[in-house]
Amino acid sequence: MKTIFKYQLEITDTQVIKLPKGADPFTAQFQGEQLCIWAAVDSDAELEDREFRIIGTGQPLDLSGVFRYLDSVQQGSFVWHVFTKVPV
């Protein structure tokens, strides 16, 4: 069944989280102090690893592979730019 799920991210350069296969992350925002993404998912689909990159403004943009920009979020004086690796 298609639904919207929320997933928590850490503020770190690269991380992998499990999402249902075919998930479509569509936004990243802070909910309180926690960075989260929201994705349209098929809740019956098998889980797969999905890589995310979080890059601060002024930091090197290292996106080897095919990544899609997801969102930019502010945390005090910091601005983070969230990218997700496009599954093959």
* pLDDT tens string 4-55: 999 999 999 999 999 999 999 999 999 999 999 999 999 999 999 999 999 9
pTM of the model: 0.92
Cα 44 from Cα 86, distance rounded (Å): 20
pLDDT at 34: 97
pLDDT at 62: 84
Tokens of 20: 């249902």
**Helices first, then strands: H and E counts in the chain:** 0, 7
Q: Where are the domains of the chain?
A: 2-85
